[in-house]
Amino acid sequence: MRVVDEAGTTAAAATVVLMSRKSAKLPMKSSIDFQADHPFLFVDENGTTAAAATRVSVERCRKMKVIKENYEFHADHPMSQILHSTTDFGLNLLRQHNLNESLVFSPLSIALALSLVHLAARGETRNEIRETIANGSTDEQYEQHFSNISTSLSANNEKIEIKIANHIFQRLGFSIKPPYLAGVQNLYNGSTTELDFSNKEKSARIINEYVRETTKGEISTIIEPQQISGGLVAVLINALYFKAKWANPFFPQSTSKRSFFNSADSKREIDFMHARKVFRKYSENDQFEALTLPYQDETFTLSIFLPRNRFDLTNLLKKLDSLTLQNLLSSSTNTFVNVAIPKFKIETESNLNEALVSIGIKTAFSSSADLGNMANGIYVNEVFHKAFIEVNESGTTAAAATNVNMFVSGLRMSDKTKKPIEFIADHPFLF
């Protein structure tokens, strides 16, 4: 869920995977109105998403839903390709959801949870995860990329509050191979806890308390007692929390009601934040207007992609890719903008199994899964994700958590101010 208001943004996300056994100065542009009164897309840069949680469940085999990191590389650098691929991963996941509904999710939380599965996987199982999330990378580049994110985003910062945590809750008595546990710790700063899964209520309470503490209460539950079945051997969790204030907060006294147009025949009155100033990063093309709002630590930003045609977001998302977004953002200029964007709070949760299978991660969910680097004869039973975001006048708060359940198989203006560009986000948008 992500909440946006005058002060900033609050967000949280969680993903769970259940595993089972098998059976610089910019040129000044003329003024613009940026009125975000219709559906839009927004992206928290540097890999942050309000609040999110992802659960991955792993069982023994039984015969069995954006956001890019803010780093810059030369176009032919391997990491440049990974950044594009991970952005496309988020867009591909987005397309698997109902695009006519408000949605927030954290591709970063989901990718980090699945990185714990990637480390466990071998052969085709591993290749599918890597190629779906970071196509074109090697296993070493993949691990380096997400290891760097885990460590760099967890570093102390006086201007923002951010926390990333990776944890494995394993069934008491279930043996996980030591090299895998060492990799989780060394690459992703992960840790493990043994739980007596026969006590379902206590186990669920401990897992949920871990997510609740990491996300500062934004996400209170990621697993229910009834989801802890007899075949469950491990629950892989990624939890993420992010809170930051705008570099230039909105004035609460400027907030007022206006219409937000959900569709041609649907609108509602909500609070809009307003600003009229020069923004360092505004850009546009035939499809979108894009406005980037920096936080106090300007390494982190919130970019809003507002369709030029009021109700065209769903169609645009069907063909949108990372290169289009990057080209749009890279053409940003200093622009005098009259901005109206809604305060909002969004919370979503979803089982990602079908979505992940649809975009290429198939074998991990089947009796053919090879997660032998972790243990033999296990597969991913469920990937579950929760996300929260709140954006207001002062800034943003976000949190994310991912749970994998494993089972046994069976700037300054350069010329005089002109009339501002209108940026009125009163219809669906991407961010």
Average pLDDT of the segment spanning 218-235: 94
Most confident of 7-21, 80-94, 268-282: 268-282
Question: Mean pLDDT of all residues in the chain?
Answer: 84
Which helix H or strand E contains 37, and what residues bound it? strand 28-37
Which pLDDT score is estimated for 29? 53
Helix pair angle (322-330, 78-95), 10° resolution:
120
Q: How confident is the model at residue 31 (pLDDT cuts 50, 70, 90)?
A: low
List alpha helices for 279-321, DSSP H: 313-317
Average pLDDT of the segment spanning 208-215: 95
Q: Are 66 and 94 within 8 A, CB to CB?
A: yes
CATH number assigned to the domain covering 3-430: 3.30.497.10
CA distance 160 to 300: 9
- pLDDT at residue 241 above 50? yes
CA atoms 165, 72, 293, 104: torsion sign: negative
CA distance 137 to 135: 6
DSSP category for residue 295 = B
pTM over 0.75: yes
Average pLDDT of the segment spanning 43-49: 55
Which pLDDT score is estimated for 61? 54
Q: How confident is the model at residue 59 (pLDDT cuts 50, 70, 90)?
A: confident
Mind listing the pLDDT tens digit for each residue in 176-202? 999 999 999 999 999 999 999 999 999
Reference 234, options 303, 325, 172; nearest CA is 172
Average pLDDT of the segment spanning 393-421: 67
Which pLDDT score is estimated for 43? 77
